[in-house]
Amino acid sequence: MKGIILSGGKGTRLYPLTLGLSKQLLPVYNKPMIYYPLSTLMLAGIRDILVISSPKALSIYKNMLMDGSQWGVHLSYATQPTPRGLADAFIIGKEFINEEPVALILGDNIFYGSGLVDVIQEAAALQDGAVIFAYPVRNPDQFGIVEVDSKWKAVGIEEKPKQPRSNLAVPGFYFYDRHVTGYAESLHPSPRDEIEITDLNRIYLEKGNLRVNFLGRGIAWLDMGTPESLLQAANYVQAVEERQGLMISCPEEVAFRMGFITADHLKTQIKKIKNTIYAEYLEKVLQEDNFTF
């Protein structure tokens, strides 16, 4: 399973914060926003990752994330000249995907909670069809919505419906088989002039190959597209980390605990950022035994 982080878009709802900076480079409490989706892909066991962003921001991402070897992963980069919709990521990443299964996560999404790792690692074992997640929300008309039957089989999917038939939003984390690029290339732009992820998911639904996994109360999903949601996400991360003494979405820790890097490799990373709170936390990670996510 390969992975794509889509960090494009103009971030207009966050103006003026995003006038000179890509949204996914903004801080969310103590880490850049993009660390959160990156860590989530790593927790799923995905190590070959493509970062897609605007031509203006791509050099910053390359300088920040480099080739990923410091975390035991391989990072590639591609540009999305104009925001053409989420499903456009599979067209841009066609050569990277190379007819292999692939996961797409949005660069402004946070996933955290008990049982998350098992859920996403199971999805990452996908070989046929597609897996999306369902998350109950208070305002379903603001999201892509999936409707399911009594056996949790998808029976309908809509993008921001005026009269939602379900309160189950589809978060920005999707898993697809090797056919995804071909399906994405067959899509026509929507009235918004975008290649919609909902239309892509509908193809899998119509073929009977769309699986829906429920994200329950133990898992938090936050997106960060507005000043209010960005602040809420930062407050959430700060509250959990202060209470538990554990960091959310620390790539160095994830890499070490997943076995992507060795203790010696982590020690080298710590030396590069010594005398920081971040380094102090990683020192504690080295000293802990029998930890599970």
Prior bond to 16 cis, omega within 30? yes
Token reading at 162: 């005026």
Q: What pLDDT digit, counting tens, does each position of 150-165 carry?
A: 888 999 999 999 999 9
Specify the amino acid at residue 224.
Answer: M
Evaluated on CA atoms 52, 53, 56, 62, the torsion sign reads negative
The residue among 173, 140, 139, 175 whose CA lies nearest residue 158 is: 140
Mean pLDDT, all residues of the chain: 95
Residue 203 inside a domain? The answer is yes
Phi, psi of 166 (to 5 degrees): -160, 160
The pairing of beta strand 31-32 with beta strand 48-53? unpaired
Beta-ladder partners of 110: 222
Beta-ladder partners of 135: 169
Residue 141 inside a domain? The answer is no
- Burial of 10 (C-beta count, 10 Å sphere; 0-12/13-18/19+): middle
Check residue 292 and give its pLDDT: 64
Q: Report the CATH number that the domain containing residue 54 is assigned in CATH.
A: 3.90.550.10
Query: What is the C-alpha separation between 189 and 61, in angstroms, rounded?
Result: 28
3-class SS letters over 57-81: HHHHHHHHHCCCHHHCCEEEEEECC
Residue entry with tokens 């203790």: 263
In the chain, where does DSSP find H-type helix?
Answer: 35-43, 55-65, 88-92, 94-97, 116-123, 180-185, 197-206, 227-244, 251-257, 263-272, 277-287
When divided into structural domains, the chain yields a total of 1
Residue 200 inside a domain? The answer is yes
Instruction: Tell me the three state secondary structure of residue 236.
Output: helix
Residue 244 inside a domain? The answer is yes
Residue 145 inside a domain? The answer is no
Residue 39 inside a domain? The answer is yes
Can you give the residue range of the structural domain that contains 107? Answer: 2-133+170-261
Residue 151 inside a domain? The answer is no
Q: What pLDDT digit, counting tens, does each position of 89-99 carry?
A: 999 999 999 99
* Mean predicted confidence (pLDDT) in 173-178: 98
The pairing of beta strand 173-176 with beta strand 130-136? antiparallel
Check residue 8 and give its pLDDT: 85
Q: What pLDDT digit, counting tens, does each position of 28-79 carry?
A: 999 999 999 999 999 999 999 999 999 999 999 999 999 999 999 999 999 9
- Are 214 and 137 in contact by the 8 Å Cβ rule? The answer is no
With a pLDDT cut of 90, the percent of the chain lying above it is 89
Residue 257 inside a domain? The answer is yes
